[in-house]
Amino acid sequence: MTQKYTAKNLGRSAFWSVANQSLGQILSLAVFLVTARFVSKEAFGIMAMSMLAVEFFRQVLIESVGTTFYARKEPTPAEYNAGFAIIVTGGSLAAILLFICAQPLADIFDHSDIAPAMRWISALLLTTGLSKMHEIWLVKNLQFKILAIRSITSICIGGAVGIWMAVHDYGIASLIAQQIVTSVISSVWLWLSASWRPNLNFKMSDVSAIVQQGKFVSMNSTASFLGGQGDVLLSSYYLGPAATGVYNAAKRLLTAISLIIGSGLNAVALPALASFSDDTHRLQQAYLSCIGLAAFLVAPLFAGLVVLSPDLIHILMGDKWADAAPVLSILAIAGFNSNMMQYNFNIMLIRKKTHWITIVCFTEAASNLLLLIAFAKYGLESLAMAYVAKTLVLLPIVSALALNLLELKASAYLRRLLPPIAIAAVMAFGIEALKHATQMGAIENVALFVPCGALIYAAVFFIFDRNALMTTLGFFQKTFRRAA
């Protein structure tokens, strides 16, 4: 029996979900930043290319099943067992296939060091397959506190191993060891923390039903992978491991920021929205609340990143990685767009329009690859701009489809989305003007303009959209209020 979705449960679950993503990403980012000072750009590029293959199988064969469960109102024990069998089988087969194909893939990218790295990294598909359903069960039961502790523990231990090896000149082996140790500890923690245990108490009809729904999500994941990771793939092919290391470093920072807030909120939003699937009016209001809250939180983050990325790269990674700063500034726009699109895809899942997502994702993937192939050869900044252009076209299309399913007017959606964007833009221009006026160093810029930007954002919001500001603050007040 899943937890009841009350305002208090959702607020506290959102808090722990964001804490899970935030602390996990902060720790992972800290490990990445430390190892980046001891490991070469080329090693990071090779690792990025190897992880692409793992991520493809993970999204298509494992996460697709997870998404179908998140979108279900209340899965049965038999469905959990069937899902476990599907994920373990798919993860194991994928690991074997990746191990066998490591050398042919290394030959395609013309770099022999990719093969051994890919063979070791294939083990991640085994550990993820064994524990993914336990994670799904914890999410459906709003046990985000357990997931947050899991992330902190596994990342700290795996990160410590990786940093020690990096400092002692193990190179790419330190990056591989970090990933494997983190994944193994995470899997063990999930098994020990979830009271649910898999068994053979399921029917083939349960498997068939999950596969039937999951196949569309899997197709969507394939297209999403090509649309979301095609830039790294083509950077590897056209520009080589060193440039890929730089591009992936910028994207790694962007991903960390996106996951800290955006994906943490969405992890709660999808099952919460699914619980309102039988009540159109409540689903409409929940969707608009999700859009408004997400835009309020993530718009200033990405706007600030556009203007402060050179300072952040200088502080966090050093001058060796300075060429990642302009890439990060450009990709920040795509980060915001991608965060907003998640909620529209949620509505399509809940309304059982997964074939719509399939069409959108394959259209996105095709246009994305065409743009990237055309511009990748001209360098990293051109590659980043092509990636952003794709998201700018896709967001209004996906939003229109979701609004149609909800029978909502575009004006209601835009009233929630546009004010945070406009006010965040004002904040970014204010920070940029102050930077030019003061001409300070990187540390001083970040120390001064991050809180200054927050004050500008809150002040402008208070002047032009006080009701939205008070509503958001009221949500956080309910979240942290202690029970009577």
Determine, yes or no, domain membership for 30.
yes
- Judging by beta carbons within 10 Å of its beta carbon (0-12, 13-18, 19+), is residue 139 exposed, middle or buried? buried
User: What pLDDT shows up at residue 483?
Assistant: 39
User: How far apart, in whole angstroms, are the C-alpha atoms of residue 113 and residue 102?
Assistant: 10
Task: Give me the phi and psi of 35, to 5 degrees please.
Answer: -65, -30
The pTM of this model reads 0.69
User: What pLDDT shows up at residue 351?
Assistant: 83
Q: How many CA atoms lie within 13 A of 389 on its CB side?
A: 15
DSSP three-state, residue 442: helix
Find the domain containing 132 and state its range.
7-480
Query: What sign results for the dihedral spanned by CA atoms 295, 301, 303, 306?
Result: negative
Q: What does the block give as tokens for 277?
A: 């699937």
Determine, yes or no, domain membership for 389.
yes
What residues in the chain have per-residue pLDDT under 50? 1-2, 482-484
Rounded to the nearest 10 degrees, what angle do helices 172-193 and 114-121 cross at?
A: 10
Determine, yes or no, domain membership for 215.
yes
Question: What distances in angstroms separate CA 469 from CA 146, 337, 416, 465, one per listed residue?
Answer: 31, 21, 11, 7
User: What pLDDT shows up at residue 475?
Assistant: 62
Q: Which amino acid is at 291?
A: I
Determine, yes or no, domain membership for 171.
yes
User: What pLDDT shows up at residue 425?
Assistant: 93
* DSSP H helical ranges for 259-279: 264-275
User: What pLDDT shows up at residue 185?
Assistant: 94
User: How far apart, in whole angstroms, are the C-alpha atoms of residue 18 and residue 265?
Assistant: 6
User: How far apart, in whole angstroms, are the C-alpha atoms of residue 146 and residue 184?
Assistant: 16
Q: What does the block give as tokens for 113?
A: 């060091």
Determine, yes or no, domain membership for 2.
no
User: How far apart, in whole angstroms, are the C-alpha atoms of residue 200 and residue 207?
Assistant: 12
Task: Give me the phi and psi of 407, to 5 degrees please.
Answer: 60, 45
Determine, yes or no, domain membership for 223.
yes
User: What pLDDT shows up at residue 184?
Assistant: 94
User: How far apart, in whole angstroms, are the C-alpha atoms of residue 19 and residue 13?
Assistant: 9
User: What pLDDT shows up at residue 229?
Assistant: 75
Exposure letters 239-278 (e unless 16+ CB within 10 A, then b): bbbebbbbbbbbbbbbbbbbbbbbbbbbbbbbbbbbbbbe
Determine, yes or no, domain membership for 34.
yes
User: What pLDDT shows up at residue 263?
Assistant: 62
Query: What sign results for the dihedral spanned by CA atoms 313, 342, 214, 234?
Result: negative
Q: What does the block give as tokens for 420?
A: 């945070």
DSSP three-state, residue 282: helix
Determine, yes or no, domain membership for 1.
no
User: What pLDDT shows up at residue 426?
Assistant: 92
Nearest to 302 by CA among 194, 383, 462, 420: 420
- Number of Cβ within 10 Å of residue 334's Cβ equals 25
Contact 291, 340 (CB under 8 A): yes
* DSSP H helical ranges for 351-409: 354-375, 380-406
- Judging by beta carbons within 10 Å of its beta carbon (0-12, 13-18, 19+), is residue 407 exposed, middle or buried? exposed
User: How far apart, in whole angstroms, are the C-alpha atoms of residue 415 and residue 379?
Assistant: 38
Rounded to the nearest 10 degrees, what angle do helices 410-438 and 280-317 cross at?
A: 20
Let me know how long the chain is.
484
**Total number of domains constituting the chain:** 1
